[in-house]
Amino acid sequence: MYVKTVVMAALACMFLAVGILGWQAIGWLKDGHWSTMPLSETLMHFGLSAPKGISWIGVQKIVDSLLDWPISLYCFGVGVAVFLYAIVLGEELERMRKHKERMQ
């Protein structure tokens, strides 16, 4: 049951990514302009600020670059990572079940 819940969460993240891309595509088809949705703007929408003032300039550039990536990419990446976790979890639970059966 737990594995199914994790798989559903992974699929929800991936569907969210597809939904965001669909919303952007509809906007582009409507007015010919692709509206970007980077992580930094998404954080601002929820009242969170991007980390600024990191004393190492190179690290700040990396952070700024990562915050400019589209939120759909992050959603899809999280979905894939959670899905892979579900596969590993399912295999581990199956291994534990077989081990328990052998011990009885």
What CA–CA distance (Å, rounded) separates 36 from 68? 9
Determine the 3-state secondary structure of 55 from DSSP: coil
pTM as predicted? 0.79
Find out whether 9 and 80 touch, Cβ atoms under 8 Å. no
Q: How many domains does the chain have?
A: 1
**pLDDT tens, 52-64?**
888 999 999 999 9
**pLDDT tens, 13-39?**
999 999 999 999 999 999 999 988 999
Residue numbers of the domain that contains 22: 2-103
